[in-house]
Structure 1
């Protein structure tokens, strides 16, 4: 039995798409279809159902998937036992939201490159919603973003929470006491990209306090957002970790209108399965890096998720 055909079968089952599998395996859709057809002919079984909704496994295909993953794991273990002197190689595609880039991505990359110097790393920065979509389509291997991904082939690990604050430039017109959230909401609020988790949290909080038409400006770049806040163009709704230095110097201040913002969660999400041990190693690495980063900056900037050191993985 051709192990390359089995590997192709496993990826079609995971991605539920012939075209995405072709991209993943640097092949053509015709070649992928031919491999699956050959495997079905050899086994005398129909492995997939193809319809307008996409590709799904048959009952026989589900049984074959379990054995196929076991066979690929044996192949991987055999190769490793025969040649364990070579460093780990391959390409890892990591998706990150802006907040991670500006806080603990650098120590993670430093640790990753020291541990796996031969691994090629590709970084994609995007909004959480887009990162989740790209992971499920197979364009990314692991993403660090805000939401749990409910998908049968995706695992999630809650990493940490960023406390969110109302922040303004200390020399701006906004640097004054506010008696209530409603009073503060009459000013311009600056926050993350539209429809992101923090943007929705800000809107929900304001609406819950009867503020139906707030002036909220959405910015899709953390650098641009913090620049606008520092230059006095509005009140920021963002994690204090992103502006730790200007807060410490007094250039920025935290406002206390009596109502706190919901925290911003950070979740690692990745595809589960045989042959993805490198991804699992990076997830474990991120857990350690986040724990250390949180310890360094303190609970006002970042709080590790409960049980992080015991690695609580959510399917």
Structure 2
């Protein structure tokens, strides 16, 4: 239904004149008549009566007027809301762990910049442990990391899971079959920074499989892990989503037949009471949902209820 035609009808009903409506809308009486006729044809009812005394509403026209006014009010509210986003000013400090940087951060920054062109988006890239400390100290407003935080003045939302896998350089000596995780653990294992959730999960998994002398190499940079992998330095416990391009090109390979490490959690945590923060978290959910749809569940799985 054409909102311009509805607007024309509302003004005719209010002013009770096609001439005054034409002046109000900076158009001609012929154009006003044409819009009303098109609206009546669309609805299949007569809306207005014109006689020597002026213009009046039919019973159907009175009912349509109520709906038309509501629809125009809703459209105006929507425009004001969108306009409010674009006139927002200020700064939002966003802390992001490396996993997000190498998957959907660029899309997130592009979306935030488009929605809030006058808001400064300050990015802090760090480990999940450090990001939580930054949030506690008030150095950042929102963080994307691995743990739910249940503390006063901080809210957390469980967003998604990155499935993990054992990844090696294709064609290297490490690219072979392993009887079990205990045998795999005899090789150098690359994982995330020490005492991080992935590091602890990998260590626990390998120890439970009977490996006691672990050769864990903790690296806090996905780029560094990827370079070490390509050079055949070790086996990485890593989400395949982080090296999707290298896997697609055949530079890296995912080992089959072994129990994978627990999935890497993705959690948004933020300081309450900070302007714009709740909106930014909502944008994060929307961008993440689009990324998850494109990447597929082998790369990332949304937590039930986190879909925006």
Secondary structure of 2:187 counterpart: coil
Matched-pair contact (CA < 8 Å) for 1:184–1:257: no
2:215 equivalent in structure 1? 215
* Structure 2 counterparts to residues 212-291 of structure 1, below 5 A: 212-273=212-273, 276-291=274-289
Please give the residue correspondences for 1:1-315 in structure 2 after superposition, counting only pairs within 5 Å: 87-273=87-273, 276-309=274-307
Q: State the shift of 1:149 in Å.
A: 1.0
CA distance in 2, matches of 1:222, 1:304: 22
Q: TM-score, normalized by length of structure 2?
A: 0.71
> Separation in 2 of the partners of 1:134 and 1:85?
27
Q: Could you list the structure 1 runs, at least 4 aligned residues long, displaced by more than 4 angstroms after superposition.
A: 83-86
TM-score computed with the length of structure 1 as normaliser: 0.70
3-state SS of paired residue (1:308): coil
1:35-80: CA deviation from partner (whole Å, max 9, x where unpaired): xxxxxxxxxxxxxxxxxxxxxxxxxxxxxxxxxxxxxxxxxxxxx9
Alpha-carbon shift at residue 307 of structure 1 (Å): 1.3
CA distance, structure 2, for counterparts of residue 84 and residue 268 of structure 1: 24
Q: Is the 8 A contact 2:158 2:266 kept in 1?
A: yes
User: How much is the aligned-residue C-alpha RMSD, in angstroms?
Assistant: 1.8
What secondary structure, in the 3-state scheme, does the structure 1 residue paired with 2:150 have? Answer: coil
Aligned length: 228
Distance in 2 (CA, whole Å) between partners of 1:215 and 1:283 is 38
Aligned partners of 1:86 and 1:228: how far apart in 2?
A: 43
Question: Does the aligned pair in 2 maintain the 1:230–1:252 contact within 8 Å?
Answer: yes
Question: 1:282 and 1:85, CA in 2 relative to 1: closer, same or farther beyond 3 A?
Answer: closer
Shift of 1:86: 7.2
Q: Confirm or deny: 8 A CA contact 2:192 2:218 kept in the other structure.
A: yes
Instruction: From the CA coordinates, give the structure whose radius of gyration is larger.
Output: 2
- The CA distance in 2 between the partners of 1:257 and 1:190, in whole Å, is 19
Post-superposition CA distance 1:138-171 (Å, at most 9, x none): 1110000000112111111111110000000112
Deviations 1:110-163 (A, max 9, x none): 000000000011111111111111101111100000001121111111111100
Tell me the secondary structure at the aligned position of residue 109 of structure 1. Answer: helix
Deviations 1:151-205 (A, max 9, x none): 1111111111100000001121000011111111111111111111111111011
Shift of 1:210: 2.0
Measure, in 2, the Cα distance between the counterparts of 1:145 and 1:84: 29
The structure-2 alpha-carbon separation of the partners of 1:86 and 1:255, relative to structure 1 and needing over 3 Å to count, comes to closer
Cα gap change, 1:267 to 1:152, in 2 (>3 Å)? same
